[in-house]
Amino acid sequence: MPLRARFSGIIFLYAIVKSLYYALLIRMKRILVTTTSFQDTPGSHHALLGSQGYEIACARGPLNEADTLDAVGDFDGILCGDDAYTRRVLEKCLPRLKVLSKYGIGLDKIDMASATELKIPVCFTPGVNHTTVAEHTFALLLAIYRSLVEEVNHVKSGKWKRLTGHELHGKTLGVVGLGRIGREVAIRARAFGMDLIGHDLYWDDAFAAQYGVERAPDIDSLIARSDVITLHTNLTDETRHLINADRIAAMKDGAVVLNCARGEIVDNQAIADGLASGKLYGYGADVLDEEPPPADHPLLRCERAIITPHIGSRTYESVVRQATKSVENLIAVLEGRPPLAQANTI
């Protein structure tokens, strides 16, 4: 074989080896996206994620532990919703996973202690959905107080049945949790002419003074005095079943409970019993302990329970805000930069 041909062959072989080396060195990053509102809502977040050259796989969450276990294990980054990230799941994510980017603010489905121990950064997106969830809270309250769902169904069925409702004006609203969402609810309640009682471990004196929010000494005092109790607190061991049979018994007759936080904060059977007895006038919730719920879920059979499918933050405006921040967090960690918001210290 001529020397020139041999030399050309060596150069060609070298080029192939070099290409393979760089392909391995800069292996395409794989991303798993499970949040459905991210996937289903058009917006600039899709272009941002798509511009990074990642290989993107999608699943329809929220996923339980078994389904999450099946999905993970071969991804550099995961953009998750309310999927179950137990220790078993997190361990299967390794060694490849570099970041778990939560779309939203609730972290109760993630074993944060294990994520920290396993050195998995968990990012989240505070400050993106307080307006939307506060508005949804009042949508639920107005629907209950004015029997809107029932009335619409009457008209659609050809009936002209007019029910008598209630005003918000002059009612006392008890806000459990005065974080971003709780404060936005309080602001809107003032516009409706409601009186305000609040409870939070971290009290904002300036905000309370500006909007006339009386500080309740404890949850039980707030519950006893409120016409409407709205829940905007995190799910913890202390807040699980915060609203139970004993506390419902201590409420005013005809009280309303609103829950746009987490389904487990209330005892479902206690709520159902309170509605059946008439002690509760209504229960409005955007969250359940099981999502989607089984057909025999006790709250689905209650006439005065208005349940929406976890859409409190699902608006075109809010989805883009949440999705963009969750993608920016994911990109930052994968590029070795600090994210906008990280929930644990590695």
pLDDT, residue 11, reads 46
pLDDT grade for 84, boundaries at 50, 70 and 90: very high
Residue 126 and residue 343: Cα distance in Å, rounded?
Answer: 10
CATH no., domain 130-307? 3.40.50.720
pLDDT, residue 2, reads 55
Domain ranges of the chain: 3-128+317-334, 130-307
**Residue 21 pLDDT exceeds 90:** no
315-319: Cβ within 8 A, 24+ apart: 315/132, 316/41, 316/43, 317/132, 318/128, 318/129, 318/131, 318/132, 319/37, 319/38, 319/41, 319/43, 319/45
Which of 299, 294, 292 lies closest to 275 in space, CA to CA? 299
Which of 135, 137, 163 lies closest to 149 in space, CA to CA? 163
Which of 280, 265, 266, 176 lies closest to 219 in space, CA to CA? 176
pLDDT, residue 8, reads 47
Q: At 149, list the tokens.
A: 């769902």
E-only strand ranges, the chain: 30-33, 55-58, 77-80, 99-102, 122-123, 172-176, 195-199, 213-215, 228-231, 255-259, 280-285, 305-307
Residues that are catalytic: 262, 291, 310
Inter-residue contact 72 to 78 (CB < 8 Å): yes
Q: Do domains 3-128+317-334 and 130-307 have the same CATH topology?
A: yes
pLDDT per residue over 102-138, tens digit each?
999 989 999 999 999 999 999 999 999 999 999 999 9
CATH architecture of the domain covering 3-128+317-334: 3-Layer(aba) Sandwich (3.40)
pLDDT, residue 19, reads 45
Residue 69 DSSP SS3: helix
